[in-house]
Amino acid sequence: MFLCKRQIDINARFGLPRIAFMSAVATIIMFLVSYEVMYFLSNTPLSDRHFLIFLLLVFMTYPLHKSIHLLFFLPYRKSFKVHKLTKRKWLIFYNTYVNQPVHKFYFCINLILPLIILSAMFVYLTISFPQYGHYFMFLLALNFGISITDLLLSLIHI
């Protein structure tokens, strides 16, 4: 059985500026590609109505992403350790650790699960509401950018 006992500090390994740059570039490229595919496949005129709901969804993407990670680790909830990443009270960025060994396959699935679930949801919403497809494609790209650290960690663990 392959258990993940080691903690990898991805910030020390790659550096925060490099991770932020890779995330921003991945978000931009993902938006450009996904928007072009959506625009090619849909002939529905785009609408900019409900922009405030879109802004709310932009701010809720990161907490939703983190929540999916935590929901998958619910069997380990008694050994959660939470570490706040910033000193500012209004900025809610946390790292959550599991304080016991986790099966390697389970850990890697947990890393890519928010990317799969949220991407599928945004693609489904784009198909269902094509007039707001540009909003959902941006949310898809934003989620992909957030998932860059997860993808780096899963590649390290493989």
Task: Enumerate the domain spans of the chain.
Answer: 3-157
Report which secondary-structure segment, H or E, holds 94.
Answer: strand 94-98
Inter-residue contact 96 to 110 (CB < 8 Å): no
Q: Could you tell me the pLDDT band of residue 98, with boundaries at 50, 70 and 90?
A: confident
Q: In the structure encoding, which two tokens stand for residue 153, read together? A: 């960690």
More confident residue, 128 or 4: 128
Residue 37 in this model has a pLDDT that exceeds 50: yes
Mean pLDDT of the 79-96 span:
77
